[in-house]
Structure 1
């Protein structure tokens, strides 16, 4: 081997070694980035959705326990969702809800006798809003210590009692047959007058702000621009 060919061989080996080292650094950097990105991700607990003929159910979930709801055997649980009627001409009505978790109590929105879903509208079932300062419900108890405003209370109280946004529909499972556990889903059937039964597997709200992106009431948002939550 001549001196020139030996020098060429050494230069080639140095180049190959440098390329290999650069590739190793690049692979190591990509791996580190993936680990960092994964560490920042948070598991999302989203409600279930289903479309069945003219009815769509959105963000169906069992609400995190609180305000009288225990989610424990023998206690109560609350189901929240948005019900959308996609029919352009025909109203529908929620007749009952069934599940092997226990008997289900349906409470219509304030001022209504049933959960009616008008054509091209949605109805929300969610926890009742707590009265806050400045709200009609709070103002109905706003008389001073001398009772000077006591005669104004019934009017504002009546208004709050007929507001379906402040007092939406509620779907409560009573006398739970077993504990409701986050991470599991439970079969629930919604029975409609015209659309018939709609079965869906319902997850449980884990209750942390990082896992849910809903309101502080854990109620579902209206879907699809179908209008307000009122019925007839």
Structure 2
């Protein structure tokens, strides 16, 4: 049987090895978890645009939104329109011509006020079609149309989304147009580019202190102490 000192010497390396292994596993797990979190966050990042984004074949629908009315918004919402529809459709196909046939709303109807001729809604290869004026400037080389939604009832409301279905056609080699599919977009209501932004914080409701309660009225702050005045016989 080994002496006590020999047994202690045999146990110490084993305990040390176990402790080192435990620390190594903890560091490895911590590093792996941090890395996985960063990759996950990066993978879920979305473009900094205000509207919805949808792809259909070689077409990319970007920044689809219902522009918030700039004048008499309560009346426009109460009447269910007219609302301007803003969007960009880009054609990434190098050879195929597409055309926006129509936009079908959840309720009501959408008419092309500008671009009523179907030829105005053709999207050549590598080009884009812009509808309305979403937040951001119109780029050179984009075709422009104006789509207007009316009789939408209560399907359009600020802070909510409404379904808009975009229907497309594709031009065949003989010049005829055939269906190219459709996609439904959950479309938010957003402010137009021309609206003035107000970054001023203000109270939604009056509070106890800003109503000037107490004997001192508006001249008192918290605890009843005067805000700007000095005590009698003191101050400068």
| TM-score of the pair, normalised by structure 2 | 0.51
Structure 2 CA distance for aligned equivalents of residues 42 and 85 of structure 1:
22
Would you say 1:96 and 2:102 are equivalent positions?
yes
Show the counterpart of 1:179. Answer: 156
Q: Which has the larger radius of gyration?
A: 2
Structure 1 CA distance for aligned equivalents of residues 29 and 56 of structure 2:
43
RMSD in angstroms over aligned alpha carbons?
4.6
Report the secondary structure of 1:179's partner residue. Answer: coil
> Pairwise mapping of residues 191-210 of structure 1 onto structure 2 (< 5 A)?
192=169, 194-196=177-179, 198-204=181-187
Decide whether the 8 Å contact of 1:63 with 1:78 is kept in 2: yes
Decide whether the 8 Å contact of 2:98 with 2:122 is kept in 1: yes
Which residue of 30, 33, 36 corresponds with 1:31? 33
Structure 1: gaps (5+ residues)? 133-163, 209-215, 218-232
Change (3 A) 1:25 1:72: farther
Show the counterpart of 2:6. Answer: 4
Change (3 A) 1:187 1:14: same
Show the counterpart of 2:200. Answer: none
Structure 1 CA distance for aligned equivalents of residues 94 and 17 of structure 2:
71
Structure 2: gaps (5+ residues)? 170-175, 195-236
Structure 1 CA distance for aligned equivalents of residues 109 and 120 of structure 2:
18
Decide whether the 8 Å contact of 1:78 with 1:173 is kept in 2: yes
Q: CA deviation at 1:206?
A: 7.6
Structure 2 CA distance for aligned equivalents of residues 18 and 79 of structure 1:
61
> Pairwise mapping of residues 125-204 of structure 1 onto structure 2 (< 5 A)?
125-128=130-133, 168-177=144-153, 178-179=155-156, 186-190=163-167, 192=169, 194-196=177-179, 198-204=181-187
Which residue of 56, 59, 63 corresponds with 1:57? 59
Structure 2 CA distance for aligned equivalents of residues 120 and 61 of structure 1:
20
Structure 1 CA distance for aligned equivalents of residues 34 and 121 of structure 2:
54
- Aligned residue pairs, count: 172
Q: CA deviation at 1:188?
A: 0.5
Would you say 1:80 and 2:82 are equivalent positions?
no
Decide whether the 8 Å contact of 2:161 with 2:188 is kept in 1: no
Change (3 A) 1:62 1:88: closer
Show the counterpart of 1:66. Answer: 68
Decide whether the 8 Å contact of 2:68 with 2:190 is kept in 1: no
Decide whether the 8 Å contact of 2:62 with 2:87 is kept in 1: yes
Change (3 A) 1:183 1:37: farther
Decide whether the 8 Å contact of 2:130 with 2:142 is kept in 1: no
Decide whether the 8 Å contact of 1:108 with 1:170 is kept in 2: yes
Decide whether the 8 Å contact of 2:128 with 2:143 is kept in 1: no
In terms of fraction of residues, the more strand-rich structure is 2
Show the counterpart of 1:124. Answer: 129
